[in-house]
Amino acid sequence: MAALSLSTQDLMEVTLAKIVASMGANAPAPGPMTFTARSVNLNATGDTGIAIVLPTGYTRYKITDVTVAHASIALSTATLGVYTAVSAGGQAIVTTAALSAITATTDNTAANMLSMTIADTTGSTTAQTLYAHVGTAQGAAATADVSVTIIPLS
C-alpha cells in the first residue's frame, strides 16, 4: 500500500472544510482559496488539470487571480490560458497569452512571476476542474506553477 502524502495546503483545505461543515448555517463565508498545478510542462502543448475543491455547501466561485510562478527558465515563447474544458474549450478564464514577461527565476527578484488577466470578472464558475492550456511550447525544457485563487460563493 502506498503512503498517503498531504501537503500543508491539502491539510488546511481539509481542516477548513471540516470547520465549515461543523458550523452549518452559522459558518462564516470562507475567504480566498488557492489551487495550484505544480511544474506544468511549458515545452509541450496541451492541458494540465487544476482541481477546485469547494467547501461543503458551496457550488460556485469567483476567480480573483491566476498566477504563473516558479518558472524553471526565463520564458520567451510559451503561451498559456486557463479554461473550463480541455483544448482551450468551455469558458475562458484567462485567454491564451504570452508568458514572456517572466524573465527571472530567482525568488525576491522582479519579473519572476506573472499575474494573468482574468477574461470575465463579472461571472461565477461551477467547474470542478480548470485546465491550464499551453498553446505554444517554449522550445526548451521549461516548467512553472499555475495557481488559481477563488472566492467560494453559495
CATH of region 31-153: 2.60.120
The average pLDDT across 7-16 equals 62
pLDDT classification of 121: cutoffs 50, 70, 90 = confident
Q: What is the pTM of this model?
A: 0.82
* pLDDT tens-digit readout, 28-40: 678 999 999 999 9
Half-sphere exposure of residue 136, counting CA atoms within 13 Å on the CB side?
12
**Positions of E strands within the chain:** 33-41, 46-51, 60-69, 79-85, 89-98, 113-116, 129-136, 143-153
CA distance 141 to 22: 46
Question: Residue 47 — very low, low, confident or very high, per pLDDT cuts 50/70/90?
Answer: very high
Q: What's the confidence (pLDDT) of residue 30? A: 82
Grid cell of 119 as nine digits:
477574461
Please give the torsion angle defined by the CA atoms of residues 148, 152, 153 and 154, in that order, rounded to the nearest 10 degrees: 140
Q: Are 82 and 94 in contact (CB under 8 A)?
A: yes
116 vs 125: CA distance, rounded Å? 17
State yes or no: pLDDT of 119 exceeds 70: yes
Q: How many residues does the chain have?
A: 154
Q: Which long-range contacts (CB under 8 A, 24 or more apart) does 1-9 make?
A: 9/34, 9/36
**145 within 8 A of 70, measured Cβ to Cβ:** yes
